Chain A
């Protein structure tokens, strides 16, 4: 069996990396936009993009057909908020580029050059069906963490789908720690830094007067101007209900801000206000413990209640492991489906749950025209699953990213195969590869 597995791994590695035109037929087809699965569906990918998907789709002549044999076929999972590609082994600092606690810069930081497309977490997350990720920096020495990116998890060196796709900042307890010790300091520092950026924009010559101890550096100002103008969405980590309301009020001073709430553990308590502000929310949905005093209202029903209030809710994996286990997204979404059946609890329908890990995060970062669903014109990120993708232990049978067939073998698979029979035979295990 080991030999057979190795051979199949070698075959996968030998796949051409060019975009293929392909039609996946006979699928239980999930578009990812919240619509129900389509039995006997087809999705057509040409030139790396989705051309059409649904029932009764015309298949272009001469195109490769892949029979899904009735299995679920979906867009790839979009990790809603993550550090994928920024770390290999968290405790090995040389491999860990999540945060830059000793830099002089903040908002100007751009994670793109820190991403490692060859890191083993890319392959492991891909093998769990994750094809895109919204990646945010962890933090700087200052209030703003810097600019994140939207990335793909393909087996190639070209990882960045959209650089500088978001700016990240934490309010609440984490923000207080950065700003000098209180929430009052956080809100003032936030406002002063944006005003400094604006004054720089109006009079760049003033930069000469800013020293290294200035409130922000030039690169930070450049990045913050884009935030003020709404060109870059501002992802805000915030949990306490009162903090959420105060963050929503930031639009009073800076009306063009494109806010996205991250965490929002007590969001259900102020769901009406979030919905009225039309601000999307990314949650790590199984957070149900009062881990801090800003999360006293934590409940797994948070996502369902906010969704019911009309909020655009995305499901992510970030209060536990935000870099290695993006495959938990499907598990978490599945939990919300189960929760919907419980008396007094709120969850999501299956269709909503799948959308919360595909099109919803794409929309939150302003890219639902490009990624996150099988609607025409989106990237050709397609997954054939072995069973219901929201069920435990479901795995992709095949994955395309930008229309390119992807290898599914991971370093973990190689270790498993080497030790399928751990006893050393004629030669040590080291020769088994």
Chain B
């Protein structure tokens, strides 16, 4: 899904192919260095565009008297959280010791949570302003483009990043290629900090993801061009042929045989080796079940189904397979495969014991994922489910961190984890609540009480509304 597939604008999966016909096929990088073979399939550098992100300066900070959702289902009333050296240094009740040099923040009446993590964003690769020159999300020239990397499309000056921070409390996000292709390319996980380069935003140590898509989009885009796939069976045939090729490529690599460098196969071999996580756009229950079998057929694992509008029909299967479902609270009706949406989808997946995630796929809803979770929570409770507010917060931080392979680093307020934290001016499941402060790695990157602690992208500098509340 993508804005261009909403609102009846389906046909317009943008094909603005400004000049650049195929992904750059340069073969050697100065950084290419032989890496120790672990699970093999790693003849070439796996990290040719390494993160240069560094934490910004922060102060030792203690928030007291605050209601805490720890992100893993825990809640502390009248809690204390200490941030130091970019990490969560302590979390506890009113008796938690506070370092002498800590800046004290009174959290009375306020809530403290881990930063929101969006596993499905196109900020930067479909930035605003949404002009054709910026339409860099779908390499819609071939149904499988595992060779493209979303990071090469991300424009770090997208004003959307600043809104996601200030209005949404989003501290980490995964940027995916669009869903025109069966295999859309690699994703990139970013820290939501302004930077001159994409490398300056890249989440250190986060694994790559692979975007895949089933259903209507690939068959519409390519069927519309008179080429395969034009049907769902065509979708699977192209997928399977591609995986078969990748399996053969990996076999050669593993056997130490000479291969011509193939960027597409390299990515897929990384998936088969378990190093790259599969994020599969898929709406319908029956298709998700087939994808699960296809993954088994070729020896990879689906980490998360995205959109998963019919996840509630197979919530038991998702639980059994250990696959996350990243969902909207209530999007429906924009296309046939989104027709059977139910507002209880997220809560039903949660109830089955599967990993439920609230995602946005949208530059607007990324600014209020907490509100989307609140609607899903209310729907579940109306159905009679007992779900605590604190548990529902796991849909916004810990579960998405799991799906991105970074749950050991962020996503919950555990001592030693990154101090990616939001202070809300009330219960974040209320429409009347806004983020007051947002820390990323312990650095205060947004403060609603300080107009200067509000990022302004290059694009907005000198424009109407520069530095305005947004």
Contact = CB atoms under 8 A, between A and B. Distances in A.
B447 to A, nearest CB: 10
Given A92-B336, A344-B469, A335 B431 contact: yes
B463 A90 contact: no
Given A89-B334, A393-B379, 16 more contacts: A88-B333, A90-B8, A90-B10, A91-B216, A138-B8, A269-B464, A292-B129, A296-B464, A297-B465, A297-B468, A325-B332, A341-B434, A343-B448, A393-B382, A413-B342, A419-B342
Interface stretch (B28-36, B75-83, B237-245, B309-317): B309-317
Given A89-B333, A344-B451, A390-B431, A420 B128 contact: no
B470 A300 contact: yes
B430 to A, nearest CB: 6
Contact of A288 (B7, B334, B367): B367
Given A419-B313, A422-B313, A341 B425 contact: yes
Interface stretch (B267-275, B370-378, B400-408): B370-378
Contacts of B340: 415
Contacts of A345: 469
Q: Which 7 A-B pairs have the closest CB atoms?
A: A393-B378, A334-B431, A91-B335, A338-B432, A392-B374, A297-B464, A324-B333
B431 A1 contact: no
Contacts of A286: 364, 367-368
Contact of B431 (A241, A298, A337): A337
B251 to A, nearest CB: 38
Contacts, number: 180
Given A291-B128, A292-B129, A241 B464 contact: yes
A296 B334 contact: no
Contact of B342 (A299, A321, A415): A415
Interface in B324-338: 330-336
A342 B448 contact: yes
Contacts of A416: 312, 342-344, 348, 383
A413 B453 CA distance: 45
B145 interface: no
A113 to B, nearest CB: 19
A412 B375 CA distance: 15
A290 B8 contact: no
Nearest to A98: B8
9 contacts: A286-B368, A296-B463, A296-B465, A297-B463, A338-B432, A342-B434, A391-B432, A413-B342, A420-B383
A322 B9 CA distance: 13
Interface in A110-129: 120-121, 124
A59 to B, nearest CB: 31
A324 B339 CA distance: 11
Nearest to B347: A416
A289 B379 contact: no
Interface string A333-358: 01101110111110000000000000
A253 interface: no
A89 B335 contact: yes
Contacts of A89: 333-336, 339
Interface in B376-398: 377-379, 381-384
Given A91-B8, A289-B160, A291-B129, A323 B465 contact: no
A321 B383 contact: no
Contacts of A138: 8
A293 interface: yes
Greatest chain A CB density within 10 A among B6, B8, B468 is at B8
B131 interface: yes
A416 to B, nearest CB: 4
- Chain A contact residues (Cβ within 8 angstroms of B): what range? 35 or more
Nearest to B343: A412
Contacts of A412: 332, 341-343
Interface string A295-325: 1111111000000000000000001111111
Contacts of B382: 393, 395
A20 interface: no
B460 A290 contact: yes
A415 B433 CA distance: 32
A419 B167 contact: no
B130 interface: yes
Contact of A338 (B315, B362, B434): B434
Contact of B470 (A299, A341, A392, A420): A299
Given A288-B470, A422-B314, A90 B335 contact: yes
A331 interface: yes
Interface of A: 1, 87-92, 96, 98-99, 120-121, 124, 138, 241, 266, 269, 286-293, 295-301, 319-325, 327, 331, 334-335, 337-339, 341-345, 390-395, 412-413, 415-416, 419-420, 422-423
Contacts of A341: 425, 432, 434
Nearest to A429: B313
Nearest to A423: B316
Interface in B455-470: 459-460, 463-465, 468-470
Given A90-B8, A91-B8, A392 B375 contact: yes
A269 B468 CA distance: 12
A392 B384 contact: no
A394 B364 CA distance: 21
A419 B348 contact: yes
Contacts of B8: 87, 90-91, 96, 98-99, 138
Contact of A323 (B315, B333, B343): B333
A362 to B, nearest CB: 23
A295 B460 CA distance: 11
A422 B449 contact: no
Contact of B163 (A289, A301, A323, A413): A289
A243 to B, nearest CB: 13
A187 to B, nearest CB: 22
A429 to B, nearest CB: 8
B266 interface: no
A327 B378 CA distance: 14
Interface in B191-216: 216
B411 interface: no
Contacts of A1: 384
B363 interface: yes
Greatest chain A CB density within 10 A among B160, B216, B341, B364 is at B364
A299 B469 contact: yes
A140 B395 CA distance: 43
Contact of B7 (A90, A420, A422): A90
A325 B330 contact: yes
B60 to A, nearest CB: 25
Greatest chain A CB density within 10 A among B312, B330, B379, B465 is at B465
A344 B452 CA distance: 12
Contacts of A288: 163, 167, 367, 470
A255 to B, nearest CB: 30
A338 B425 CA distance: 10
A122 B381 CA distance: 24
B429 interface: yes
A344 B432 CA distance: 16
Contacts of B343: 412, 416
Contacts of B463: 290, 296-297
A408 to B, nearest CB: 11
B325 to A, nearest CB: 13
B359 to A, nearest CB: 16
Nearest to B330: A325
B185 interface: no
A393 B367 CA distance: 18
Contacts of B115: none
Contacts of B160: 289
B159 interface: yes
A297 B159 CA distance: 12
